[in-house]
Amino acid sequence: MSRKLFALIGCSKKKSTTNPFHEMVPARDLYCSDLFKKRVEHIESRGLPWFILSAKCGCISPGTPLRKYDHTILDKEPIDRAAWHIGAASQLIDSLYYDFGIRDPAECVIEIHAGRDYCETLRKILQIAGFEVERPVEGMGIGQQLAYYSKGS
């Protein structure tokens, strides 16, 4: 069976400076760190459908309108982090089911391109649900990740 590959890209603390806080912009245009941009280029060059792991909103599509915000997952209390991970997993599963027709977790692989605090609990939840989850840059520092994404691995 051929499995469909999906990617999750972690948001970044660095946000666009061209938009005031009250203005809504597509999520993909809100985050502007070099690492976020390299991750997006890498995933899009492979033609993969992808989602953003937003500290504010969970697992969202790149076109989701967002206002600028200033917090990370580390700013959340432990119980709120747990709720975020459960919510993000639920949002992803709903999107896979309704938008992509995925009926069995074994039909796809989820690649997570994000920091450890966004990944570890989410990976466990998705694996328990039956998804195969990969972290291609697991254990790499930011410089190593930038090099990985730059070479188109």
Over residues 85-109, the pLDDT tens digits come to: 999 999 999 999 999 999 999 999 9
Range of weakest confidence among 8-12, 19-23, 111-115: 19-23
Q: What pLDDT shows up at residue 17?
A: 67
Higher-confidence residue of 123 and 2: namely 123
Please name the amino acid found at residue 11. Answer: C
Q: Identify the bridge partners of residue 81 per DSSP, sorted by sequence position.
A: none
The set of residues, in sequence order, having a beta carbon less than 8 Å from that of 22 and lying 6+ positions away, is 67
